[in-house]
Amino acid sequence: MSYAAFTREVERINDLLCTANLLSWDARVMMPPGGVTARGQQFATVTDCARELATGDAMRRAIEGAERELDGVSPNDPRVRAVRAASAGIGVLSRIPPALLSEAATLKTEGQAVWARARAANDFDAFAPTLERTVEIQRQVAEAIGYDDHPYDALVGTYEPGMTWRRLQGLYAEIKSGLLPLIERALAKPQPRTDFLERAYPVESQKRFARMIAERMGYDFSRGRLDDTVHPFEISFTRGDVRITSRFQERWLPGGLFAVWHEVGHGMYEQGIDPAFTRSAFTTDFVNLYAVGGASFGMHESQSRLWENRVGRSRRFWELHFDELRAVFPDQLADVSAEEFWRAVNRVKPSLIRVEADEMTYDLHIILRSEIEAALIAGEVSVKDVRALWAEKVKATLGLDVPTDTLGVLQDVHWSSGMIGSFPTYTLGNVMAAQLFEAALEAPGVAEGLDRGAYDPLKTWLNENVHRHGRSSLPEDTLVRVTGDGLRTDAYLRHLEEKVGAMPDA
């Protein structure tokens, strides 16, 4: 056995996981209703084959052989790092008993159906037993993986390597104390008009405009495609085939546009991975059995947020492109200025639904979910208290009453999918995006490019400094390399403060 044998095993696993991604993309975009049952079985079989290969004897021997072959080679050698990355991921995966994984998978399928019914019926009690089992199973997963301090660390760590509840609490405290006064300031200012966002915008024209901007941002359609779905997402099957989806609504213009540019951010990350990493340990998430090039869920989200919010919602962006949008919708936007449009798509307004939240209040939604799930996993609160806890936290941070379960605790799919520990990565994405964007603006040509609507310098900088490294660089290491600092909230808070400052006072 040798490094070549290791490479071959990884290639096979990556092929299977890319295939699982295709099964998943197709199920959400193309599959007729009759395919549902068999598709679940196909997905389970394919990922199970990947798991068996990853945790099987051949892989163990290949890793041992590769380690022997590379004995004495520098720890910075990409081969050494590949073996180490695979070995670490497989180590975590191997600690979770297959029976527990299979129970989690079954519960996920059933749980999503139960959740969808409960949400439609506005009935948290109908979902509560499922949530209880999910918490129990995820607690077992956390115990199996192991942790130093808090069981939530084990779960968060599967999405964001090295992140802990203690660290998150510190970040959340900083963000909250920065955000709350900013939101108050924003709300004290005159509110922009938003009436025109709800006029009739034919969907095909929206799509054409969104695509045109996506191409200028640098998303490569010869290695991707854009389709319609209910819930927008990005998924890839190697860097040569990176697909995005969006949802266009005739009477809500920003919905489809910003969703495309968000997914474009994810997509350009995957398209920008070093070609040498194709089918390698650096494009394979062995813990989640997922083919992906991005370093972590948080780092991935940083890329989508960056293009959606830092580019797409910037004042300069609309100064540059509003006339082009108005050329597509001359009647609908006849009485609107670029300035009004920019203000409308940046309106600050506390609301009940996370996915509709503005940039300023978004993190408050994340923080409350994260606090609740950490407490659930630690056994500090029980499922029956979650509804009341939710209402209390929404009131305390967003100042709103929660009138129904559907508009409250039942709104997100995550818990029904067993994804406890993934919510923090949205806020981590916002924070990292701000750090990376600040660094990018210092680089030659980037700020000038943004100023004239040339996005290539920014994209090239991200390719070079973030994208190409794939999973070969931990998020924290990337931040240190690029910004000189680890994860810090100050750039993010600076950005939000500037944003509020730029809003007219009268």
Q: How far is the CB of 300 from its own copies (least distance, A)?
A: 20
Question: Can you list the positions of beta strands (E) in 385-429?
Answer: none
Q: Does the footprint of its own copies cover residue 281 (CB under 8 A)?
A: no
DSSP string, 425-472: HHHHHHHHHHHHHHHHHHSTTHHHHHHTT--HHHHHHHHHHTGGGGGG
Site for its own copies in 194-233 (CB under 8 A): 220-225
45 binds its own copies (CB under 8 A): yes
Contact 425, 475 (CB under 8 A): no
The Cα 443–Cα 464 span in angstroms is: 12
In angstroms, the CA 422 to CA 276 distance is 29
The region of 39-47, 195-203, 260-268, 317-325 touching its own copies under the rule CB under 8 A is 39-47
One of 4, 35, 102, 323 touching its own copies (CB under 8 A): 35
Angle subtended by helix axes 124-145 and 78-95, to nearest 10: 120
The reply to whether 380 belongs to the active site is no
Residue 58 in contact with its own copies, rule: CB under 8 A: no
Shortest Cβ distance from residue 269 to its own copies (Å)?
15
Tokens, residue 388: 């009341």
Amino acid 443 reads: A
- The distance of closest approach from Cβ of residue 207 to its own copies in the complex, given in angstroms and rounded to an integer, is 17
**Is 106 one of the binding residues for its own copies (CB under 8 A)?**
no
Of 34-42, 72-80, 410-418, 476-484: span binding its own copies (CB under 8 A):
34-42
Q: How far is the CB of 375 from its own copies (least distance, A)?
A: 39
Listed ranges 33-41, 257-265, 308-316, 322-330: which one lies at the site for its own copies (CB under 8 A) = 33-41
Among 277, 305, 276, 308, which residue's Cα sits nearest to residue 292?
Answer: 277
| Spatial distance between the Cα atoms of 7 and 304, rounded to a whole number of angstroms | 31
Choices 23-31, 61-69, 208-216, 466-474; region in contact with its own copies by CB under 8 A: 23-31
User: Of the ranges 15-23, 98-106, 140-148, 312-320, which one interacts with its own copies (CB under 8 A)?
Assistant: 15-23
Our finding on whether 75 is near its own copies (CB under 8 A) is: no
Given candidates 5, 12, 61, 477, which one binds its own copies under the rule CB under 8 A?
12
Which among 160, 234, 263, 373 is annotated as catalytic?
263
For residue 389, CA distances in Å to 373, 406, 409, 411 come to: 11, 15, 9, 15
Of the candidates 238, 303, 425, 478, which one interacts with its own copies according to CB under 8 A? 238
Interface with its own copies includes 24 (CB under 8 A)? Answer: no
Answer for which of 3, 6, 10, 19 binds its own copies (CB under 8 A) is 19
CA distance 375 to 294: 29
Torsion angle of C-alpha atoms 149, 153, 154, 158, degrees rounded to 10: -160
Contact status: 11 vs its own copies (CB under 8 A): yes
- Please state, in angstroms and as integers, the Cα–Cα distance from residue 19 to each residue in 46, 49, 246, following that order: 8, 11, 22
The answer to whether the beta carbons of residues 431 and 487 sit under 8 Å apart is: yes
Considering beta carbons, is residue 143 or 220 the nearer one to its own copies? Answer: 220
Phi, psi torsion values for 166, nearest 5 degrees: -60, -45
- The helix (H) or strand (E) run that includes residue 214 is helix 203-217
Number of residues that bind its own copies (CB under 8 A): 39
Task: Based on the shown chain and the rule CB under 8 A, indicate whether residue 41 belongs to the binding site for its own copies.
Answer: yes
User: Which residues on adjacent β-strands are paired with residue 290?
Assistant: 285
Determine, following the binding rule CB under 8 A, whether residue 276 of this chain makes contact with its own copies: no
Of 279, 321, 343, 495, the one binding its own copies (CB under 8 A) is: 279
The residue among 39 and 207 lying less far from its own copies, judged by its C-beta, is 39
Binding site for its own copies (CB under 8 A): 11-12, 15-16, 18-19, 22-23, 26, 30-39, 41-42, 44-46, 48-49, 220-225, 237-241, 278-279
Task: Name the residues annotated as catalytic.
Answer: 263
